[in-house]
Amino acid sequence: MEKVIEVKNLTKEYKNIRAVDDISFDVMKGEILGLLGPNGSGKSTTINSILSLLNFSRGSIKIFGREMGPNEYELKRNIGVVFQDVAVFDELTVTQNIDYFCGLYVKDKKVRDGYVEEAINLVGLQDFKKFYPKQLSGGLLRRLNIACGIAHKPKLIFLDEPTVAVDPQSRNNILDGIKSLRKMGATIIYTTHYMEEVEILCDRIIIMDKGKIIASGTSDSLKELANIEEKISVHISDLDNKYLSEISKLKNVEDVNYNNNILVVVYKKGKDNLALLMNFLNKSKISYEKIFSERPTLNDVFLELTGKELRD
């Protein structure tokens, strides 16, 4: 497959702090790469280095096979960037804003008009073309921000927290739009604090912490890194603490926790864990309301690797 981004031995130092520590990775044409990490992990520094918004200390970065640099304007024409902070002009309408940003790359007015219309349709702003930013809700404003960043049909797109603090309708619309961009051939670097979005969208995931890449792979392959096989949750009212010790001694049990009337039993390995637990509850005459089992999640992996929740 064709490499769109090649990062080799990237290092960025600030005095005695190494924000990015000798990382290397590739991004392939047409894939959505999720870049995850807790605050201070080096994600933003990595992205800013790739975009030549930041001088790095050592290493090399190629985009579309060419060395990236501050003056590589031809490369930058093929890149779209949507930062978390909304950046549009208050005095311009939705259509005018998108047209302005698209016009930075596309000079032909007739072609640009078609691109602007496509961007409006992609993010679902057909009914808001003549609205000004101050008239838009937070979700609609974020959709406008995305449209401004992708209207010129870039081949490589960076999306930083595009769904943060938006309503469910806007969030679904944004996610559908991202899927459409990939279908049209775009390569996407995606950062988010929502693990479910990573599961839905990303072909491959890189997890960073303290400036290093600590894991990478597909969602399924990363889940195999989790030190748990199964997590069973049971809704029980007033469970006597004496039973916790007995449950912890059951076969394959790794950890037991009981809070807010929910018993959580974590298993490191084994089969028939659910059946064995139900058998114990029934024999002990412990009444329960709901019981369900789940396999390791990406959040379990993230917590185990970094010691933090993604949304911390």
Q: Which residues contact 179 (CB under 8 A, 6 or more apart)?
A: 201
What architecture is the 230-295 domain classified under in CATH?
2-Layer Sandwich (3.30)
Spatial contact of 107 and 100, defined as CB atoms under 8 Å apart: no
Tokens, residue 281: 């509850």
Q: Which residue has the tokens 């064709």?
A: 2
pLDDT tens-place string over residues 215-243:
999 999 998 888 788 899 999 998 998 99
CATH 3.40.50.300 spans which residues of the chain?
3-223
pLDDT tens-place string over residues 257-298:
999 999 999 998 777 899 999 999 999 999 999 999 988 888
pLDDT tens-place string over residues 120-153:
999 999 999 999 999 999 999 999 999 999 999 9
Taking the C-alpha atoms of residue 69 and residue 53, their distance in angstroms, rounded to an integer, is 9
Q: Which residues contact 154 (CB under 8 A, 6 or more apart)?
A: 77, 78, 79, 80, 186
Q: Please list the alpha-helical segments (H only) found in the chain.
A: 43-50, 73-76, 94-103, 109-123, 138-150, 168-183, 195-201, 219-223, 242-248, 273-283, 298-306
Host H or E run for residue 9: strand 3-14
pLDDT at 167 over 70: yes
Sheet containing 187-191: order of strands: 79-82, 156-160, 187-191, 32-36, 204-209, 212-217
Tokens, residue 199: 């599961």
Tell which residue, 50, 46, 49, 48, has the closest CA to residue 63: 50
Q: Give the β-pairing of 79-82 and 156-160.
A: parallel
CATH 3.30.70.100 spans which residues of the chain?
230-295
Confidence of residue 97 (pLDDT cuts 50, 70, 90): very high
Q: Is the CATH code 3.40.50.300 the one for domain 3-223?
A: yes
pLDDT tens-place string over residues 36-50:
998 889 999 999 999
Spatial contact of 234 and 288, defined as CB atoms under 8 Å apart: yes
Cα–Cα–Cα angle for 143, 144, 150, rounded to 5 degrees: 90
Taking the C-alpha atoms of residue 17 and residue 204, their distance in angstroms, rounded to an integer, is 29
* pTM score of the predicted model: 0.86
272 Rama class: left (phi>0) / alpha (psi -120 to 50) / beta: left
Spatial contact of 191 and 163, defined as CB atoms under 8 Å apart: no
